[in-house]
Structure 1
Amino acid sequence: MVINLQILWLFLLALPIACVAWTVTHEEVFREPREYCVNRCKKGRTILERKFFYLFTCEYCFSHYVTLVFLLLTGYKLLLMDWRGYIIAGFALVWIANVYMSLFGLLRQDISKEKTEIKLMEETKSLNTEIKS
């Protein structure tokens, strides 16, 4: 019973982790801070500076830190009830969250492709109508 609940928590807790990581690293609302981080990542004087700012541009990297925050907020542990449970939970959550983000990325790509195809079909139809007239 306990393991079933832990697995349920694993898949549910990975959802907000994926949401936060994706939003910060991809969505328009965080475009300016992300562009600043990309610039500092490329032009930073030290490797430490470049790597620090890279963390805010990569959903995989950033998801580790988001996961850490969620582990601190929830106290979630996986399989073991001591400190090792936090480590196992952390890596499992990062992995599941990144699976979610990959699936979401593919879904958005398909939607974008369909919108482009529909627009091209409408333009072709409009052009054919103009030619016939």
Structure 2
Amino acid sequence: MDISTQLFWLFTMALPIGCIAWTVTHEEVFREPREYCVNCSKNGKTLLRRKFFYLFTCEYCFSHYVTVVFLLFTKFQLLLPDWRGYAIAGFALVFVANFYMSIFALLRQAIKKEKTEIEVLQKEVGQD
């Protein structure tokens, strides 16, 4: 596979990886399981239990595991056609997915700020 095709797959596969990691670690649909994991990560009796459950609360950490699943299913390798290609692809996918998630978080924050400013302006106009 040539480098342009590999880069296409890198940036394309990072989208669903980021989407899955973000949804599990931030969105309302997974709130109850996430709260359970947060509780177990803070109050677990063993270090292993605390760290295991923490993985489901951190988008960066969770994206590593989603990436491993994607690599198992797609057999995607980057630059080298052996185990090193899997390692490079794994870390590159995590990096790009987390870049996408950071952009998404900033976008959501800006939208939320704008909505709040609009609500404040509407209240001010309504009071006058």
> So what's the TM-score if we normalise by structure 1?
0.95
Distance in 2, Cα, partners of 1:75 & 1:112: 39
Distance in 1, Cα, partners of 2:41 & 2:124: 43
| Aligned residues with identical type, % of pairs | 70
- The one-letter code matched in structure 2 to 1:71 is L
Tell whether 2:66 aligns with 1:66.
yes
Structure 1 counterpart of 2:4? 4
Structure 2 counterpart of 1:96? 96
Aligned partner of residue 81 in structure 1, secondary structure: coil
Distance in 1, Cα, partners of 2:41 & 2:82: 37
- The one-letter code matched in structure 2 to 1:18 is G
- The one-letter code matched in structure 1 to 2:34 is R
Shift of 1:83: 1.0
Aligned partner of residue 78 in structure 2, secondary structure: coil
Tell whether 2:49 aligns with 1:31.
no
Distance in 2, Cα, partners of 1:95 & 1:14: 8
Structure 2 counterpart of 1:21? 21
Structure 1 counterpart of 2:113? 113
Distance in 1, Cα, partners of 2:112 & 2:47: 36
What are structure 2's unaligned runs of at least 5 residues? Answer: none
What are structure 1's unaligned runs of at least 5 residues? Answer: 129-133
Aligned partner of residue 51 in structure 1, secondary structure: helix
Aligned partner of residue 116 in structure 2, secondary structure: helix
Shift of 1:32: 0.2
- The one-letter code matched in structure 2 to 1:52 is F
Shift of 1:37: 0.2
Alignment length (residue pairs): 128
Distance in 1, Cα, partners of 2:27 & 2:89: 27
Structure 1 runs of 4+ aligned residues shifted over 6 Å read: none
Greater Cα radius of gyration, structure 1 or 2: 1
Distance in 2, Cα, partners of 1:31 & 1:110: 23
Distance in 1, Cα, partners of 2:32 & 2:26: 11
> So what's the TM-score if we normalise by structure 2?
0.99
